[in-house]
């Protein structure tokens, strides 16, 4: 076995705790700042309300040591990106992801996708979900490295109230300074 079972359990526990603690704190701050406008909307930015989920995130682990090491390095950025992405309510709100994106990429203008499908909490995929609430991240899997400086994975989101799901494939790129940045994401079908 490439990774001891104990280390895998620690990684999953740390991810689940950090997603809710750091992600919830970050989103609480963002939501508090956005509450100054109407119904969490200001300057085109719209965020859903953060809801606590008792469900742990299922984290698929790669057997490739290189992928596992890169995943551990990138996890703080991945956690922040996913915590924001699961709560945005319109394409313009994805500008909040630009701080985590590779230089020159505007996440609000990602090409190739219908604007409404660029974020998990959308009216096309989540027809019955109360969109004023964030969707929950339930699974991270299919980890792979398409290049030495690239990390790709699938994230599955779930709406607790309606049972609807949507998946996205994310690609992160390692920068010269050693940080990992969001390069792109696409709806996964």
pLDDT in tens, 12-68: 444 444 444 444 334 344 334 333 322 344 456 777 776 655 577 888 888 899 999
Predicted local distance difference test score (pLDDT) of residue 58: 85
Q: β-strand 165-174 against 180-188: which pairing, if any?
A: antiparallel
Structural domain total, the chain: 1
Strands (E), the chain: 41-42, 45-46, 58-59, 136-147, 150-158, 165-174, 180-188
Domain that holds residue 38: 5-188
Query: Comparing 113 with 92, which gets the higher pLDDT?
Result: 92
Structure tokens at 71: 């995943």
| Tokens describing residue 78 | 């991945």
pLDDT at residue 98 is higher than 80: yes
Flag whether the pTM goes above 0.85.
no
């Amino acid at each position: 076995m490439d990774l001891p079972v104990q280390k895998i359990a620690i990684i999953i526990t740390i991810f689940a705790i950090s997603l809710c603690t750091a992600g919830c704190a970050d989103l609480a701050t963002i939501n508090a700042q956005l509450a100054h406008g109407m119904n969490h909307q200001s300057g085109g930015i719209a965020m859903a309300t953060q809801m606590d989920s008792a469900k742990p995130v299922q984290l698929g682990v790669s057997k490739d040591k290189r992928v596992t090491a890169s995943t551990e390095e990138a996890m703080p950025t991945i956690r922040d990106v996913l915590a924001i992405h699961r709560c945005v309510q319109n394409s313009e709100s994805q500008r909040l992801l630009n701080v985590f994106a590779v230089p020159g990429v505007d996440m609000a203008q990602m090409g190739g996708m219908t604007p409404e499908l660029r974020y998990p909490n959308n009216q096309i995929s989540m027809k019955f979900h109360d969109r004023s609430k964030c969707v929950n991240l339930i699974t991270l899997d299919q980890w792979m490295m398409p290049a030495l400086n690239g990390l790709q994975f699938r994230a599955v989101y779930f709406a607790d109230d309606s049972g609807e799901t949507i998946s996205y494939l994310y690609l992160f790129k390692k920068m010269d300074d050693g940080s990992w940045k969001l390069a792109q994401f696409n709806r996964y079908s």
